[in-house]
Structure formats: C-alpha cells, structure tokens
Structure 1
C-alpha cells in the first residue's frame, strides 16, 4: 500500500471510514465553489468519487490520496494525481489536485500534501511533467501552485460548463524538492 508521511500528514489510500468525513467536505458549498459548476456532492456521489479514485490507483499506479492529520487521525481532505480526461487539449498529461475541508484551510496542509505528491509523481512514479488545472480567481489554489514552482502553461475552457481554466506545469528538470 502506498503511503507518504510528511511532518504533519499521512497521505494514503482510502478506507471505508473516510466516506462520511469526505462527504461532509463535499457537502460544503464554500469548499465546492471552485469545483466543476460549484454543486455540492451527497454521500452517494462521494462514494462514487472515492471508488473512481481507487480504480485509478489500480489502473494508473497513481491516484488521489486521502490526507489524514497525524496528530488527530482526522481526514482533512485529499491530494493526488489524475489524468484530466475532461480536457483533451492537455493530454497526455497527469494533473495534481487537492480539496480540503474549510476548517483545515490556511494551515499549510494543502501545500505540504501537494509537495509530497509532486515529489512522489516525479521521483517515485517517474513522471516527466505534472500539470495543474485551476479556475481564475481561486487565489488559495493558485498560492499552492506557485509554492510548487509550477509555471503558467496556457488557458482553456471547461468543455461542459464553459468557464475559463488556467493551466500550470512543472517538469522534472524544473523541480526542486
């Protein structure tokens, strides 16, 4: 089982007990504001999401990590890698993403988890390049992208909802652990 420990976090595969706390995170309109069309997800949709993430691990050898706080064992959210199939103009690509409960914002958890995930992607999984797909105006996400050392890599429009997206990327030659 793939696990990564950082000073404050455990990045790991998903447990059955993670469903309820992840569903709580996905039910928060403020958390979901920048995700797709901003709709919240219920328990069933969250279960489907986690199931897809676990399938990605089996098929791709990478995926979305559950992020647990080492001090308390609480599920704080997720970070991980995925193929952005919804955006064919960037393929082939592997993207990094994150989502944390609002009570965990502003504490550096997203940056800490994303750094560990990027290192995993480039050094452990041997990926040459990782991208980020974000919505303009999401300053908290952009802050994490910048801390990762990712550079602007273009713009696109969401193929379903039509809103603009910003692309950032980093390759192995630019990465500094």
Structure 2
C-alpha cells in the first residue's frame, strides 16, 4: 500500500517535488526544537532524509509517508513507521513518528495521521508492537501518544544528543481492544 486517505489527509510515498515543502517544515526552529539536538535542517539535508525514507520503504516494506491535506494537496509534513536506529536499546523495534509544519498544529492532524500509520503497521504489516519516542517536555507529542492508546514503558536518554526521552508502546492486542471498545454497537428501531 502506497497511499492512505483519512477524512482530511492523504498519506503517500514521496515525490521529488516534496523536498521544498518539507524543507520549510525542517527549517522552522520551533518545529525542530524537540527533534534530536534541536537543529534545523536545510534543503540538502531534507533531500538526504527523503532518500533515506525511500530506502526504508524498499528495505522494510514500510516507512514515513508524506502527509498532504486532501482539500489542497499541500504537503504539511510526514508520519509513518521507521526503525529508531539512533536508540540502540530499541533499534529492532518499529516506531511511529510525525512532524507537521507549525501552521497545522493544534487541529488534531498529527493524531489523525499517526492513527492511520499505526493501523497500517498493525493491520497491513502485521506488527506486534509499535513504539514512539518523545523528548521530555514535548507535551503535545505525549498527548498524541495518549490518544493513540500508547502507554509509557520507560524513560531513557537519546545517546546522539544526551537529551532525556520517554518511550511509549502500543501492542497489537491493545490496539485491537481499543478498536473494539470504540466501535458503536448498532441500535434497533426501538433504540435498544
């Protein structure tokens, strides 16, 4: 599967034309504040990142999707699955992550996109467990993790930058249980 649509978003594989809009996202210091050591990335670094994302797709059968608004086809960031090789203690695990441009914060778009990515991981790729890693202090991302049904597993440190991070997890069993709990039971004409 190379594309997923939600009510407001389209998650798809990367195109050459996506480098410039993603570079604008990566150039915003507020967006990058909680990524690695917090440094912004230029267009050259962004293009290298896109190439790495596509290699992940080819090697693993999953990766990070470009996220675009369905209404306008504007690329606003990314979401999807990756292997967090920066954190050796969990490098054999799959992580869900997201990064959206600041104009798109606070509208539930990260949760909508990440929910679709998690579903893709469990339902289409048969994963048993998905984690997410967040720097301590990034409360907005921790709220997304809570909405996904993830539970805090442990605190640790990102060895690439020395910043404290929290590791959250969601198992396929919990994902299924949460899905069943949120499905509406059809009512008959008597309202029962």
Q: What TM-score, normalized to structure 1?
A: 0.98
Deviation per CA, 1:105-150: give whole Å up to 9, x if none: 0111100000000000011100000000101110110010000000
Query: Distance in 2 between the 1:8 and 1:91 partners?
Result: 32
CA distance in 2 between counterparts of 1:170 and 1:144 reads: 13
Q: Does 1:30 align with 2:26?
A: no
Q: CA deviation at 1:91?
A: 3.4
Match of 1:161, SS state, is coil
Which residue of structure 1 lines up, in the alignment, with residue 65 of structure 2? 65
Distance, in Å, in 2 between the alignment partners of 1:171 and 1:115 is 14
Matched, 1:170 2:177: no
- After the TM superposition, which segments of 4 or more aligned residues of structure 1 sit over 4 Å from their partners? none
> 2:190 corresponds to which residue?
none
Query: How far off is 1:86 after superposition?
Result: 1.3
CA deviation profile, 1:70-98 (whole Å, cap 9, x unmatched)? 00110010001000111111232000100
Deviation at 1:67, TM superposition (A): 0.3
Matches within 5 A, 1:35-114: 35-114=35-114
Q: In the TM superposition, what is the alpha-carbon distance from 1:155 to its structure 2 partner?
A: 1.4
For 1:150-169, list aligned pairs within 5 A: 150-169=150-169
Helix, strand or coil at the partner of 1:132? strand
Q: Figure out how many residues of one structure are paired with residues of the other and give that number.
A: 177
Q: CA RMSD in A?
A: 0.8
Counterpart-to-counterpart distance in 2, 1:5 and 1:31: 24
Structure 2: runs of 5+ lacking an equivalent: 180-192
- Counterpart of 1:115? 115
Whole-angstrom distance in 2 between the partners of 1:38 and 1:52: 20
Aligned to 2:10: 10
TM-score, with normalisation over the residues of structure 2?
Answer: 0.90
* Distance in 2 (alpha carbons) for counterparts of 1:160 and 1:63: 21
Secondary structure of 2:173's match? Answer: coil
The Cα of 1:12 is off from its aligned counterpart by 0.2
